[in-house]
Amino acid sequence: MRKLLRRMFGYGSRTVPYPTEAFTPPAAFIGRPEADLDGCDRCGRCAAGCPAGSLSLVDEGLQLDLGSCIFCGECARICPEHIAMGKDFELAARGREELKVVFARG
């Protein structure tokens, strides 16, 4: 028991002072998809290939539903010219609709 307690207290703090201080995620962290639609021809391959059905072409551009996105990165693999996985992890929202973001047409 003494050994266990010594080991437990020996670990020290494993948390970071976020949000008091800014936090930079590790290099391997995958955040939400980001899209730059400049030159996008609206082919729809990204939406068709999304396994969660989270992408859809809308009049304003490309809609991403963060409420169903599984952050798999398939859209970025399908269209690396216009979509990349970002580092944003601050995705809290007050309602379901706020999780739907639209990337404007280029």
**In the structure encoding, which two tokens stand for residue 63, read together?**
């809609």
Name the CA radius of gyration of the chain, rounded. Answer: 19
52 touches ligand SF4 (CB under 6 A)? yes
In order, the DSSP letters of 39-56 are T-----HHHHH-TT--EE
Pattern of binders to ligand SF4 over 57-76, x per CB under 6 A? -----x-x----xxxxxxx-
Count of C-beta atoms within a 10 Å radius of residue 64: 25
**Applying CB under 6 A, which of residues 10, 25, 26, 44 lies at the interface with ligand SF4?**
44
Residue of 38, 33, 28, 43 lying closest to 77 (CA atoms): 33
CA–CA separation, 5 and 34 (whole Å): 45
**Applying CB under 6 A, which of residues 41, 59, 90, 97 lies at the interface with ligand SF4?**
41
Report the nearest approach of ligand SF4 to the CB of residue 65 (Å).
8
Nearer to ligand SF4, 16 or 38 (CB): 38
User: Which residues form the interface with ligand SF4 (CB under 6 A)?
Assistant: 33, 40-46, 50-52, 54-55, 62, 64, 69-75, 78-79, 82-83
